């Protein structure tokens, strides 16, 4: 095996993005940004994350997020015990006005999420039937060779980016990132999102059980949102560094 790092972006002619790839790409962009916006609004109403099956204002959170005026709220009347057991359930009445105007965000989030499911299904099926997955997304053996792989990593860490040609072949880090987002991160977001639905959890309790409970699914959902946001930041940065105009033309009208 050659010891010279493989650099397909510099040494191969681009085939361009297939029309269906461009269409699904922009659909996923719009859907993910809409879901992120509505999801943050939903989170602002209760910026506390838990682990397990239950969690509320009177439960110690795993993480409390600095979002909105509900963050580290205060102002409760005296606790009211439901039972004689001192360790039993209690209730308290709020003495402050919380932010809870997120009904529109929940409706939008749920509806747009089905567009994400459709986009992932289209991308997955088309990738298999057209050979896009095998030809363009799965890393080749020589790309995963330690010396070649770490050469790519070093180049990206110092922002030594080869000008892109507007389409495949992709670099090995691109391939791994795309595979991770499309076939791992986004499906996990869909499954954890379904796990938070009371109707789904009641009908299929095994689904939230896969993640350790409804509240655990909510926490994992947020963690993967952060990972996708990190991917988007790096992705946009790479677009700028590798030739913004060329990349946008290639992903829009295919020139």
Query: pLDDT (tens digit, 0 to 9) for every residue of the chain, 255 residues total?
Result: 334 444 444 445 567 889 999 999 999 999 999 999 999 999 998 999 999 998 888 788 999 999 877 787 766 677 777 777 766 767 777 666 677 788 999 999 999 999 999 999 999 999 999 999 999 999 988 888 888 889 888 888 888 888 877 788 888 999 999 999 999 999 999 999 999 998 898 999 999 999 999 999 999 999 999 999 999 999 999 999 888 988 898 898 876
**How many angstroms separate the first and last alpha carbons of the chain?**
35
Q: Rounded to whole angstroms, how far apart are CA atoms 55 and 178? A: 34
C-alpha dist (Å) from residue 69 to 46, 61, 102: 10, 17, 14
Vertex 225, ends 36 and 119: CA angle to 5°?
70
Domain 8-72+99-252: assigned CATH number: 1.20.950.20
Q: Is the peptide bond before 243 cis (omega within 30 degrees of 0)?
A: no
Q: Rounded to whole angstroms, how far apart are CA atoms 193 and 160? A: 38
Sequence spans of domains, the chain: 8-72+99-252
């Amino acid at each position: 095996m050659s010891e010279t790092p493989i650099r397909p972006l510099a040494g191969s002619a681009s085939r361009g993005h297939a029309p269906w790839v461009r269409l699904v790409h922009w659909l996923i962009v719009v859907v993910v940004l809409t879901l992120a916006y509505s999801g943050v609004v939903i989170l602002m109403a209760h910026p506390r994350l838990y682990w397990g099956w239950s969690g509320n204002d009177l439960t110690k959170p795993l993480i409390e997020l600095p979002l909105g005026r509900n963050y580290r709220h205060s102002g409760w009347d005296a606790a009211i015990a439901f039972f004689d057991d001192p360790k039993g359930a209690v209730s308290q009445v709020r003495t402050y006005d919380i932010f809870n105007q997120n009904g529109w965000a929940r409706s939008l989030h749920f509806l747009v999420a089905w567009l994400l499911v459709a986009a992932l299904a289209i991308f997955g099926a088309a990738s298999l039937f057209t050979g896009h997955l095998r030809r363009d997304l799965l890393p080749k053996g020589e790309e995963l060779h330690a010396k070649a792989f770490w050469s790519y990593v070093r180049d990206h860490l110092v922002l030594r980016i080869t000008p892109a040609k507007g389409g495949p072949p992709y670099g090995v880090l691109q391939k791994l990132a795309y595979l991770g987002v499309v076939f791992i991160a986004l499906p996990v977001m869909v499954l954890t999102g379904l796990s938070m639905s009371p109707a789904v959890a009641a009908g299929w309790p095994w689904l939230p059980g896969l993640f350790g409970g409804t509240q655990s699914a909510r926490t994992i959902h947020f963690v993967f949102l952060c990972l996708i946001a990190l991917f988007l930041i790096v992705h946009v940065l790479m677009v700028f560094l590798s030739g913004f105009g060329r990349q946008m033309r290639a992903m829009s009208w295919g020139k």
